[in-house]
Structure 1
């Protein structure tokens, strides 16, 4: 009876499927663990007591020997009696004899022993035990096993032996682990990228959605059926994008290897969002590639960013065109004046007028360049504020003094309304004057001649608000919302009658924010004027610190002629500067390289050295260090005359030994004041 039952068991076990069962690794135990195995005699009873392995008919023996699995015959106590050759190979057992009589459960890791004993109990009761577990081979190779344990019934119908069959499922287990890890990585990637996944048959228009993100992107309830292409075009797509989507679908139906589409969808509230669909054929072994797998992504934020970049690029191009226009304007009268002076023989009045034109246009160009540099320094965070408690009424007074000529020149009426009590803020006096001055200049430029400008200070418990209102050209709401952005001024007027680069308001915004304040603009539209408001934190302790006193006037004295050395590789610039100072009564020496300057000081002494920084071979900083150490120029006043005007440039020139740092084109009035102090 045993042989047919054995054959049935073999047939049953050969159908065993691989399953994944997790367990910790342990070393293969070659001896019975007394603490884990139910009590039994320490050694096998005499051979006369233990029945020999049952004789197996030929068919049973053939199955036993040919089974690719590890087949073991145990006694009813679960001790090893025999193992087929393939099983010994699978378990990497060279000699089975030492294992005969050992408890089969003792060969398993400790955490699996209870499971093994439960399966044995089931077999002793006439049932079948199944489990999956990890166990190393005799040589330590880690393996996973699927095990079935069943009784071998004797002639009396009771279990006389136990059959244990173990199938090596390590490869399947590893494949499952790799597949699970791959799925986890895919899930991580799609979650991080916020991608929805879908599978679509373009011919039948059947679609499935493979994660919940797809439902979220399209605003479809998770319990609702997925949306196919037909419904997507009809119920979700923006009408203007339906034709392009239909073309993409038609291409996929025709066998195109890729599906890609960007378009707008309308949510339930009518808001427009952008989505991107991308798919490719699904490669199924032996099956035609009729399905596409792909992703859907909400790219609204990206589209908005792209629109902003395009708009910024457009305004940048307009700004550069405007900059070229503004720089050419003063160059035209300067060039004409230069050509006129070459003709010679002018009366004093015409020379003076020509000189004034050149000076005025150079001043205008200098102002443009300074605006560019200033806004770069402020927005880049390079400028540091020198803060102190200040009364905003004093700031207004200084700003009005600076902007007065422009306001009066345009015939505007300026009305100032300030409170009687202190309007104290914590700020940098120079920068606050710059803020108010820029607002006044802006109002003056964009208000037709004879207009009205109101400047007002209002107080509350925590804020001081300064507003500048005009009845000028005004602006549309769209421009008022971004008038403080760089380059936005290009849209104010196309004819550029107001002049300037539109950097003043961007500078105002940055400086106000550095003071912890806010700035805003309101306009009733074109021709309705504009109101700019600055709100700053108020100091409410009532204390006031006056603005720094002006430097005391110099004591009048007898001016003397100075010996001045000019070093500049720009021959024209050096010559013009020398002519100007020579006309003021000073003795001038001009050199065009550091080497010639060093040779000159060996035979001459100088009171003042005016040095360009960007000299060939040896720059002005290195030359200044050499002059500062030479006995003939150790006590001379060293002035840097340079086009480098960043704060870092000033720090380097000071470290090199310069007393003054002046940026080209030189403010001649300031230079004359410096020379007067030396004289």
Structure 2
């Protein structure tokens, strides 16, 4: 019947009835107490009050009607529902007698379980409703009495029908002398000076009437609100009586204070003092403000205080920030440029403080300002001189530093291939080698000589390394040939120190998008460092393996190692471990810095690890793999720098564009490159396709009806990775400004392509996004 079982007391001297009725009630989830006489039942009611009583009429001691009367006459038990259930007293007069004795219901035996349980439920619902109504009435009366103003309800003649305790206290009369009497008579002593009551005007005009009256050195407010019947005829009024003596005294004191303050404002000339309301509207203006800002009081009152702020400060919302800071911190101090009435500017130092009433509520703001323009101009001139001097010094230092860095990097780049050339030449001049070794030596010399030529041609690229703007010639490549070429470059140096180079290559490591020359430079630098810091007879291990979606190159040596304190700085330009290392090993600390720059330009990362000095070091380079679906082929009759266009066979691409012609063009253009396209016309369709079809890449228009591309990518990025939330995305749009591109990238797209777009350009954009 309910979540918490109800308790029912069954009073009946018939054991069979007790059993049958008890079984019905327990089956319905009730807890049942039983008594076989009226007195026993009354004792249980007093000691363990039940939720409901089922009472037989014919009992051995006192009949059920009397038991019911005694229950209902006791205030503690009167609210318990009583249900008569009798097999003997079944006539209508019996039922009438039972109900008149206070019973809430009457059933005759035999009774069906359904009827009994339904009746019990009904009686319990009625009881709960009565309790709720009683509680509500008590709450209303409590609220009514808690109001500090005197409140009374008058009938249409002006007689009191009801009033709260505050009214009784104000009138100083017992409730019996108030209820039923005319309000004019009841309030005559308290409001002796009141000539006409507002009640009559309220009855005539049918609207609220208020009046303030002074009586015996006290002030009172009388407010009368009309009350209407359903047909809008006058039914009476709500009469509100409030003692406003304290308020009147405060108002008088405030008026005197305002007069004194007005006199003060009129005589302060060096300060601009003015007041604003909570909306920032000027409400008061001093003579000093007139002199400093140029506005007369009559023309500035009612204007926003922001009118004295400069346009650039208004654009940044400084006027609103000033109020926010004053509210948060109790005051806001600042110095800034302001504008006078004649549009001239002055440097003003100001303080804004919030004005609060006695309850702490903000009533407005006060702002006090002084003109510090002369001081500001002197400070600006001094700062400008200092800034010009510092700028000149910084420019000179930066120019020298850039020159030194450029020359040092250039020297480093030129020495790298020279090492192999000179090494092999010395070996060939001092030893006899077989034809195979000699041929390998000559091949290495020739290759590095060509690298010298390439380095001379890339001198401008070296300067871009320093500025972080080196351009790479990316293409899908295998890393094993790149690593082997770097090993061949350093092998003469390793052989000279009897250092063994071991290789462990995973032939299935996959392709990376890289510049082979620059990646060879990365591996060469790592190997050179490993050999340089490894003692004679040591070894270096070079590994290539596939780890998830990355190719990982690891170079491990048994050399000097790196102290834990220096590991975080090992890739910083010009950094050396310590002075002793500097003395023992030559170098300018550029190699690893170049490694990090080149690896990061390839979208990878490089880390250094070492357990400490004399424990060797390990360097790991991670480069992103090219997706298996991406290949390249050369088209047309091209020279060495032939344009490469991608093969995107099997790449599933979701296209979103509300323009039918544009959508069909994109489908046709991409299918030429082997793309499997899914084309939809709205953001809603796109989300559904993304969740159901799991495409590899998303191409979306920006300007679309109902929901644009920015909203679409925002919803996509809120999805989990499994749902497609990390799908690579291209914004393809006719909005082609720099700020449009920045907005697209910041919204969640990786690439921005402007319309109109060539098929080749679009395919390359798709391939580059997949490669990255």
Report the TM-score when normalising by structure 1: 0.30
Q: Which has the higher contact order (CA 8 A, sep 6+)?
A: 1
Report the TM-score when normalising by structure 2: 0.27
